[in-house]
Homo-oligomer: A and B are copies of this chain.
Amino acid sequence: MINIIGVLPDDTIETDVKVTEENLKRYKWYWVDFSEPTADEFQLLDTVFHFHPLAIEDSGIILQRPKLDYYDGYDFYVTHTVKQEGKEIVKEELDFFVGDNYIITFHFEKSKEVEQVWNRITSQTIVEKWDPYYVFYQTLDKLVDAYFPVIYDIEEKLDDIEDNKQNQSMDELMDELFDIRHMLLHIRQTVNPMRDLLYRMLNSQHLTGVKKRREYFSDIYDHLLKVSEMVSSNREITSDIRDNYLSVTSHQANEVMKVLTIITSIFTPLTLISGIYGMNFRYMPELDDRYSYFIVLGMMLFIGLSLFYWFKKKGWFD
């Protein structure tokens, strides 16, 4: 579907605009939104707007890296939105062609961010404050703001894992940690190129539309810097949690094995002694002695306690 806003020289807007080269010339500037475009609509990028084939190709491809390409008379931006659905990070691409007197937004899925900006501009009668780069800024701002809830959600999950608030088994914890690391990796693949894109925009000599609103785009860049740092901090925390569990686990294994070894070491010799006096040889002098049984019991007690104190002295009970 294609939606268009045409802004007339007196800063009033029209929304019922025919997309022909002739007609579009009437407007001071205009915004064309390609939302889930059909193949026919997709053709318009070429037939009406005459964009470069490589830019059109990039629009048609799903999930290019976020980037900025300069073309004659317009700039082409690829950006990503990020959403969390279950244990998966879902990204969608939102492309912008920004010229002096127009902006084209292009996306294969419905875009909440575009819709919000659309509603805001169409709710006004005079739009003198707006121009193509302001539309671009507004959309980008909403798009980047949407990264934060995803990270906050991950941070909350990490907090739960750290203290094992949900009483999960080790296997579940490790699996969840692994999924979180996976998600952070996916987010990083979007956030870092987005951050670099904004950096490039802020330092570009060509982008007068950005220069004029430097503080606005700078504000978005701040957000991306912050998200980027949160992502890498959280990845460090995940690996810290894992290393911590590993240390604790291997220590526990040690403790368990000490118990096993102490029990085995104390009882095995005693069992042998009892086995020896359970043998059925005819001539076993000790068997007939009146006090043998008590002597052997005493001996067992002595051996058992000796071993116990030996282990204690070796510090195995600490």
Contact surface of A with B, Cβ cutoff 8 Å: 52, 54, 57-58, 64-65, 67, 69, 71, 170-171, 174-175, 177-178, 181-182, 185, 189, 215-216, 218-219, 222, 225-226, 229, 233, 236-237, 239-254, 256-261, 263-265, 267-272, 274-284, 286-293, 296-297, 300, 316
A287: chain B residues at CB < 8 Å are: 280-282
Residues in chain B near residue A225, CB distance under 8 A: 65
Asked if residues B281 and A54 are in contact (CB atoms below 8 Å), the reply is no
The 8 closest A-B pairs by CB, nearest first: A274-B275, A277-B279, A260-B261, A281-B293, A267-B268, A170-B251, A278-B278, A178-B244
Q: Which residues of chain B are near A257, meaning CB under 8 Å?
A: 253, 256-257, 260-261
| B265 and A260 within 8 A (CB) | yes
- On whether the beta carbons of A52 and B171 are closer than 8 Å, the reply is no
Are A240 and B280 touching (Cβ within 8 A)? no
Beyond A185-B240, A247-B249, A281-B287, 17 extra complex contacts between A and B, CB < 8 Å: A58-B219, A65-B225, A65-B226, A69-B215, A170-B248, A246-B246, A257-B257, A260-B264, A261-B263, A270-B275, A276-B300, A277-B280, A277-B281, A279-B293, A280-B280, A280-B287, A282-B290
Compute how far the CA of A242 lies from the CA of B226 in the bound complex, rounded to whole angstroms.
29
Complex CA gap A290/B65 in Å reads: 84
